[in-house]
């Protein structure tokens, strides 16, 4: 039995309490300063407010002020914050964690730099640990997995990545179940980049759904040719971006493609893409969704900025990323959706 502390009571972090506790581990969930109501509700009812199933019996819940109690004796930490909590976790949590206790993160995303580099969140956290002269093995989870389906025990396959295979095996032994299947990889850049890139591209695919609703009516049947065409272009561009990132194992593209598939079929990214395809601009789409957090827009913007810098330096040809550039001009310049179909074709 392991002692596992989950920091961040959002849906994905909380969903991981199910396989963790069902394996007989001691599981503690710590809410961030934004999760007070979730922790209160979980303490009272034994259920996350957004789940339709109780947590496994024995999970315990803590407010952020009780962090030191919750991490005491933990064998590893699961970071369950969203991408908007990356800096908070870096500045407020990493300094308080115990030396040599591994962290594994569900947070997906990339950070662009002025020189056109795209850093994983583990890169950012490692820089902080170096500054603190502190040793904590950093790991991450990537792959197609929605929280509510994990809670429902739908068959799910993901990858745990990190530098130390022994650490990864230890975490896998605590988390793997008959429905939660885990591959292991030391290609952090490949895994983290693949699953982050899918966010912006999923929005691109969802544009076609909105375009068809605009052309044929809101209740018209789904059209799959256009979705498939954009899906294919998205995977092509993701492959090129993984090469630029220096990924070591291109099998990890499968993680990004699978995650892309899952994201297109549900969630906030699908909704905003549909609204944009129907003819709303990005401000109108955001207003329609009433302030819903849209990580896909952030990721797409960061990746596009990095590619533009690389193009200015002559490292890449920006024409190789027509879908990404169109998504960016929709988000950044508020241009109308006009998918550049012919730019997806090629001659070889």
d(CA 167, CA 163): 8
> Residue 24 region, left (φ>0) first, then alpha (ψ -120 to 50), else beta?
left
Question: Which of 186, 221, 246 corresponds to the end of one domain?
Answer: 186
The CATH number covering residue 98 comes to: 3.40.50.720
Whether 79 and 216 share a structural domain: no
Same domain (yes/no): 24, 172? yes
How deeply is 55 buried, as exposed, middle or buried, from its count of CB atoms within 10 A (0-12, 13-18, 19+)? buried
Q: Is residue 229 part of a domain?
A: yes
Whether 39 and 158 map to the same domain: the answer is yes
State the pairing for strand pair 26-30/60-62: parallel
The residue with tokens 């930490």 is 77
Distance CA 330, CA 324 (A): 10
Residues 182 and 200 in one domain: no
Distances (CA, A) of 346 to 196, 234, 239: 26, 15, 16
Burial (CB < 10 A; 0-12, 13-18, 19+), residue 262, is middle
**What number of other Cβ atoms are within 10 A of residue 115's Cβ?**
9
Q: Are residues 144 and 217 in the same domain?
A: no
Same domain, 39 and 175: yes
Chain centroid to CA 163: 20
Q: So what's the pLDDT on residue 293?
A: 64
For residue 284, the enclosing domain spans 196-344
252 domain residue, yes or no: yes
pLDDT value for 289: 84
Identify any residues that bridge with 140 across adjacent strands, giving them in sequence order: 105, 161
Instruction: Kindly state whether residues 88 and 157 are assigned to the same domain.
Output: yes
Please tell me whether residues 104 and 251 are part of one structural domain: no
152 with 263, same domain?
Answer: no
Backbone angles phi, psi at 230, to 5 degrees: -70, -35
pLDDT along the chain (348 residues), means of 10: 97 97 98 97 97 97 98 98 94 98 96 95 98 98 95 97 98 98 97 92 95 94 95 96 91 92 86 94 88 78 96 96 96 94 94
Q: Is residue 191 part of a domain?
A: no
* Domain-embedded: residue 99: yes
Same-domain pairing of 61 and 172: yes
Query: What is the separation of C-alpha 144 from the centre of its chain, rounded to a whole number of angstroms?
Result: 9
User: Which segments within 174-217 are labelled E, that is strand?
Assistant: 180-185
- Which tens digits make up the pLDDT trace of 61-81? 999 999 999 999 999 999 999
C-alpha distances out from residue 203 to 206, 295, 298, Å: 5, 11, 12
Are 167 and 285 in a shared domain?
no
Last residue of a domain, one of 186, 210, 235: 186
58 in a domain, yes or no?
yes
Among residues 155, 186, 217, the one where a domain terminates is 186
Looking at residue 76, its pLDDT comes to 98
The confidence score (pLDDT) of residue 292 equals 66
The domain that holds 338 is classified in CATH as 1.10.1040.10
pLDDT at 81: 95
Q: Do the bridges between strand 76-79 and strand 110-112 make them parallel or antiparallel, or are there none, so unpaired?
A: unpaired
Question: How many distinct structural domains can be found in the chain?
Answer: 2
Decide: residue 123, CB within 10 A, 0-12 exposed, 13-18 middle, 19+ buried: middle
Is residue 286 domain-resident? yes
Residues 153, 251, single domain; the answer is no
Q: What is the pTM of this model?
A: 0.94
């Amino acid at each position: 039995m392991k002692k596992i502390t989950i920091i961040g009571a959002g849906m994905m972090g909380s969903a991981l309490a199910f396989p963790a506790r069902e394996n007989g581990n001691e599981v503690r969930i710590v809410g961030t300063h934004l999760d007070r109501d979730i922790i209160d509700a979980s303490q009272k009812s034994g259920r996350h407010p957004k789940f339709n199933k109780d947590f496994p019996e024995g999970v315990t819940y803590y407010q952020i002020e009780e962090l030191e109690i919750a991490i005491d004796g933990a064998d590893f930490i699961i970071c369950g914050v969203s991408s908007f909590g990356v800096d908070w976790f870096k500045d407020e949590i990493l300094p308080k964690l115990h030396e040599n206790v591994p962290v594994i993160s569900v947070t997906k995303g990339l950070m662009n730099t002025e020189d056109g580099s795209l850093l994983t969140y583990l890169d950012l956290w490692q820089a902080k640990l170096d500054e603190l002269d502190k040793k904590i093995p950093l790991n991450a989870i990537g792959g197609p997995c929605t929280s509510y389906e994990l809670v429902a025990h739908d068959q799910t396959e993901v990858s745990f990545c990190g530098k130390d295979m022994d650490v990864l095996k230890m975490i896998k032994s605590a988390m793997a179940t008959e429905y939660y299947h885990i591959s292991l990889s030391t290609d952090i850049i490949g895994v983290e980049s693949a699953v982050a890139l899918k966010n912006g591209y999923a929005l691109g695919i969802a544009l076609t759904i909105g375009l068809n609703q605009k052309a044929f009516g809101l209740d018209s049947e789904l059209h799959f040719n256009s979705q498939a065409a954009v899906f294919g272009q998205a995977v092509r561009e993701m492959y090129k971006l993984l090469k630029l990132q220096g990924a070591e194992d291109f099998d990890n593209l499968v993680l990004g493609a699978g995650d892309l598939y899952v994201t297109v079929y549900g969630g906030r990214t699908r909704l905003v893409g549909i609204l944009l395809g129907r003819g709303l601009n990005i401000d109108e789409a955001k207003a329609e969704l009433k302030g819903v957090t849209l990580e896909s827009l952030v990721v797409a913007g960061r990746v596009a900025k990095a590619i533009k810098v690389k193009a200015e330096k002559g490292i890449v040809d920006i024409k190789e990323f027509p879908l990404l550039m169109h998504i960016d001009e929709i988000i950044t310049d508020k241009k109308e959706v006009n998918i550049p179909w012919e730019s997806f074709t090629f001659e070889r």
